[in-house]
Amino acid sequence: QLRNMANILPVIFMSVAAYLLNTILSSMIDTDREQIGALKAFGFTNRAIAIHYLKLALIVAAIGLVFGYALGLYLEGMMSETYMRFYRFPSFSSRPSVTALIVGAVVAFGAAVVGALGGVRRAMRLAPAAAIRRLTHSTTTGASAWKTCSGPCLTLPKGSTPAKIYF
């Protein structure tokens, strides 16, 4: 039973982490559309832009790896002490596993890359001219579709008039 939990729980946590990373990066890329379009117009390659966002995902994974490994060592010590008391072991020693750290790093970085790929693909597909145009949310019809507007736009809360103000 413990072996099954040890195999299933990390998959669930890494899947959730990959999903959250994908959601956050997609949101960041939507926010950075204009900058991505300008960078592409100035000659930056899709690869350079993709590497930027992948680095960001890998930094997040590295921070999570460090904190996760430290928390794992702390909790492992507490669990060992609990087992030692409960089962009355005379001594119970544990050592940090380098293999566990390496496997954890590979899994964490793999989940980060998989989670980032959706957002990175979205940034790479943007054409420079289309990316520079701003997006606004349609609030007058109640539709949840995003649409572009030409020029600086301001959207007001639903029910307010006018729905867009152009300066």
Contacts of residue 156, defined as CB under 8 A and 6 or more positions apart, other chains included, come to: 139, 162, 163, 164, 165
The confidence score (pLDDT) of residue 164 equals: 43
Secondary structure class of 32 (helix, strand, coil): coil
User: What's the Cα-to-Cα distance from 62 to each of 8, 25, 50, 96, rounded to whole Å?
Assistant: 22, 16, 18, 18
Predicted confidence (pLDDT) per residue in 125-136, tens digit: 878 877 777 665
pLDDT digit string, tens, across residues 26-63: 888 888 888 888 888 888 998 998 899 899 999 999 99
**φ and ψ of 38, to 5 deg:** -65, -45
CA distances from 129 to 35, 45, 53, 113, 125 (A): 11, 15, 21, 28, 12
**pLDDT, tens digit, for every residue of 61-91?**
999 999 988 998 898 888 888 888 888 877 7
Angle at 99 between CA 91 and CA 16, to 5 degrees: 105
Confidence of residue 6 (pLDDT cuts 50, 70, 90): confident
